[in-house]
Chain A
């Protein structure tokens, strides 16, 4: 069953006539983990923002959760995680996770229960009442993930969520993300510029190339799941990385 359907999508920024995306066609299945991979300027973040209805495409069509992206946004069908955690410093960790539920007018008791459950899931149950500035970068990003999941979205959109983290923290969060995905069965669209990260996480890696931004290849990653961190040392993994790297055009 198709969750996100993209047909011949194009995006031209009128400001400077930049062609950010051209002729992108892609179907993302429900429950699939898909990465959008490419160097900066290839349009991968633009595509994610279009799916999230934070940008309007200039040509082509797309449906998200069987409706328009706007409907999907208004129905809170997706949760989004950005490059930075985007936490509100004046709210405690728990209150940050409750924020979307406040906007949705969920009663206070239920808000707290749901926020606490999410914070348990991302391993932050000891930090309910901490303020964001008291947490490390990795912990802050976990709060961001908990906040995206607390509205129980069908789709999780992630825009280079781990790119600002150190290697050790990133590996831990990648493993945790896979576990969360396996438990929740959500569709995940994950933007990254890290080839190994895309291969490790995804069912499919969509390779984007710049100038103009376009989808140049889709690589199916058939590594068995669950994937332990050590899978990165196997010949099969290295082969996938090489294959993905070989499919970039004009970088």
Chain B
């Protein structure tokens, strides 16, 4: 027990101390000397913080647009992906082949997928903001669905030896076997998939914003400010993007702990 407390302290204190040292080196421009750069392309933390503080409404507007894409895509993608895995698990003959095709989607880079989807959704709505949001959500949802379907399929089909026989011995029908065995068996695999999906959905939302028609979102602000050589503003949005990624991952770990507890090991 003592050991685990010690581990926990060192697991928190060390990274925080490292970050603090880095910040000090950064603010004192020691980092600039090491990297051979200047404060224009690599602005000081204090400068970035002032920009953040001075642009709260604009940042929130962009953050909210990005969050809509991240969490909308994540929710739709996960539900669709789980649905696909259930269908695949129910029909073993088509399931494996179907998932192999879906797995191939995994190899498509986001930078290739995003422009294609944006092109395909041009006629969805006359409102550019709406069709842009739809396109971005579709990109995120596609990527999430792929990861979720592959992960959940494993959870639905990779059963302990004899566990299906056991339920059959109680004359359980297919529906009961699904509800009492396959579904709960897939829970840890859902969370394993989510650990990939949550960071992926943030990244794919940011990148799909680069290509979107409507100019909004954290990712788009990073790109546009770099193009305009407003590096300090770009860095402010990079900080927000990091915060969004870290916060959503932290929420996932918390939910995982609450749901799984002693019951499921991930």
Contacts and interface: CB of A to CB of B under 8 A. Distances in A.
A91 B166 CA distance: 15
Interface in A75-123: 75-76, 78-80, 82-84, 86, 88-91, 99-100, 102-104
Contacts of A134: 262
B171 interface: yes
B173 to A, nearest CB: 9
Given A54-B169, A74-B171, A76-B171, A86 B161 contact: yes
Interface extent on B, as a size class? 20 to 34
Contacts of B46: none
Nearest to A99: B180
B184 interface: yes
A82 B171 contact: no
B263 A90 contact: yes
A90 to B, nearest CB: 4
Interface in A131-181: 131, 133-134, 151
Given A73-B169, A86-B163, A103 B263 contact: no
Contacts of A82: 161-162, 165-166
A131 B262 contact: yes
B166 A80 contact: yes
Q: Find the residue from A54, A73, A86, A133 having the highest chain B CB count within 10 A.
A: A86
Q: Find the residue from A84, A90, A91, A133 having the highest chain B CB count within 10 A.
A: A90
B75 interface: no
B121 interface: no
A86 B265 contact: no
A52 interface: yes
Nearest to B176: A103
Interface in B136-185: 160-163, 165-172, 176, 180-181, 184
Contacts of B105: none
Interface of A: 49, 52, 54, 73-76, 78-80, 82-84, 86, 88-91, 99-100, 102-104, 131, 133-134, 151
Given A73-B169, A103-B170, 20 more contacts: A49-B165, A54-B168, A74-B171, A75-B171, A76-B170, A78-B169, A84-B160, A86-B163, A88-B163, A88-B181, A89-B264, A89-B265, A90-B184, A102-B180, A103-B171, A103-B176, A103-B180, A131-B263, A133-B262, A133-B265
